[in-house]
Amino acid sequence: MDFTFGEEQEAVRGLAADVFAAKSRPERIKEIESTADRIDRELWRELATTGLLGIALPENLGGGGAGLAELYVLLEEQGRTVAPVPLWPHVLGALAIAEFGTPAQRDVLVPAAADGSLILTVALEEFGPYVDGEPATTAREVDGRWHVHGAKAAVPVAHVAERLVVSAATVSGPALFLVHPESAGVTAQQAESTTREICANVTFDGAPAEPLGPADGTAVRWLLDRAELAVAALQLGVGEGAVRQAVTYLNGRTQFGRPLATFQAVTHQLADCYIDLEAMRVTLWQAVWLLGSGEDPGTAVPVAKWWATDGGQRVVHRTQHVHGGIGVDTGYPVHRHLLWGKQLAATLGGASSDLARLGAQLAAGVEVVA
């Protein structure tokens, strides 16, 4: 397999880097954090105008027709700047609709997702230990109509989303459903996450829902694989951005007449960050390559997710540590990278959960991808 980016991926990276650099300076992010919905609407429009928002969506539905690699390049660049826009839940929701939706669902929702005129999100996590692909939330069909019962935890940007893509168990297996957040039977209790992004715990009490794809577990597994790699791509970018800030700071500060960057203890810390980031990078792109080529990813997805979860936390903690006292100042930019890194490390299960799922796959005879 070849991890070298092609011309299209490099073009996406360059454009995304320019957009985020121009629109996501620390002072701008601080300003957005004081707004009601904490989403940079100006940046959101810019991402739509440049085609980045819909880069991975089908061309016939208003998207760019690119693949998973381009999407994860975009998310990695977002992570570098911790830009306050709900890219991963929005695009993953739109991809699920494009892949499994009815013609009517696709024609109405995917073009609007590509141009940013509506926001989608995914509701995959629940309370208690994370159980991969086996939601406790249920969906029942009565007289040809589906209704969802249960609860989802920490649903991203539920306060502005116009559709939720919800995983739920049915009599024939796990499935995805589209739920309107303002429908009867839907209650959202907002909670501020550590990244200052608004999320919500959402309860479904017989909420009307539209099925999205087959009710045999395949659609849920499809979405979870891609969502876990989206989190891993973001986490890689967050770690890279944190290290970049640390290097700038350490080169600019002196102690005993020498730049802090020349101290052995500091260089060891950054060397460890480099090792973790490279492991995160190679496992991420191995899994992306396998999914994008249509091959069985085997254990590649949980391995990439575990490295992002475990290694990503180490990177953001080390980079904050080498900043000394200024690193704990909530007004200093590196603090946001720490918060993003910690929250992403807990999204879709933490490191222990990732290892447990990986162990279960190995015990079940799933192929180890090396």
Query: Which long-range CB contacts under 8 A does 8-11 form with residues at least 24 apart?
Result: 8/66, 8/70, 9/69, 9/70, 9/73
State phi, psi for 189 to the nearest 5 degrees: -110, 110
CB 221, CB 298: distance < 8 Å: no
State phi, psi for 193 to the nearest 5 degrees: -80, 175
**Residue 242 structure tokens:** 């944190």
Q: Name the DSSP letter for residue 148.
A: E
Please report the pLDDT score of residue 185 as a whole number: 95
Per-residue CA distances from 185 to 154, 207, 208, 270, 308 (Å): 18, 4, 8, 50, 36
Q: Which residues contact 333 (CB under 8 A, 6 or more apart)?
A: 26, 245
Please report the pLDDT score of residue 293 as a whole number: 86
**Residue 208 structure tokens:** 């009307």
| Alpha-carbon gap, residue 344 to 336, rounded angstroms | 12
Outline where DSSP puts E strands in the chain: 120-123, 138-142, 145-156, 163-170, 173-179, 186-192, 198-212, 254-255, 258-259
Report residue 318 CA to chain centroid gap: 22
pTM of the model: 0.95
Please report the pLDDT score of residue 104 as a whole number: 97
**Residue 206 structure tokens:** 């017989």
**Residue 318 structure tokens:** 């080390």
Give the pLDDT of the chain (370 residues) as one tens digit per residue. Answer: 566 788 899 999 999 999 999 999 999 999 999 998 999 999 999 999 999 999 999 999 999 999 999 999 999 999 999 999 999 999 999 999 999 999 999 999 999 999 999 999 999 999 987 777 889 999 999 999 999 999 999 999 999 999 999 999 999 999 999 999 999 999 999 875 545 578 999 999 999 999 999 999 999 999 999 999 999 999 999 999 999 999 999 999 888 888 888 899 999 999 999 999 999 999 999 999 999 888 889 999 999 999 999 999 999 999 999 998 888 788 888 999 999 999 999 999 999 999 998 998 899 888 887 6
3-class DSSP state of 120: strand
Please report the pLDDT score of residue 328 as a whole number: 78
CB 287, CB 303: distance < 8 Å: yes
Q: For residue 269, what is the enclosing H or E element?
A: helix 264-292
User: Pick from 268, 358, 266: which is nearest to 310 by CA?
Assistant: 358
Residue 15, amino acid: L
Query: Beta strand 120-123 with 163-170: parallel, antiparallel or unpaired?
Result: parallel
Please report the pLDDT score of residue 347 as a whole number: 94
Terminus-to-terminus CA distance in the chain, angstroms? Answer: 11
Report residue 298 CA to chain centroid gap: 21
- Going 25 to 52 to 349 to 156, the CA torsion angle's sign is positive
Q: For residue 139, what is the enclosing H or E element?
A: strand 138-142
Please name the residue that has the structure tokens 């979860």.
309
3-class DSSP state of 323: coil
Please report the pLDDT score of residue 268 as a whole number: 95
Q: What DSSP string runs through 153-218?
A: EEEETTTT-SEEEEEEEETTEEEEEEE-TTSTTEEEEEEE-TTS-EEEEEEEEEEEEEEES-SSSH
Residue 330, amino acid: T
- Going 125 to 70 to 309 to 80, the CA torsion angle's sign is negative
- Going 209 to 158 to 225 to 353, the CA torsion angle's sign is negative
| Alpha-carbon gap, residue 70 to 92, rounded angstroms | 13
| Alpha-carbon gap, residue 110 to 298, rounded angstroms | 30
**Residue 28 structure tokens:** 């701008």
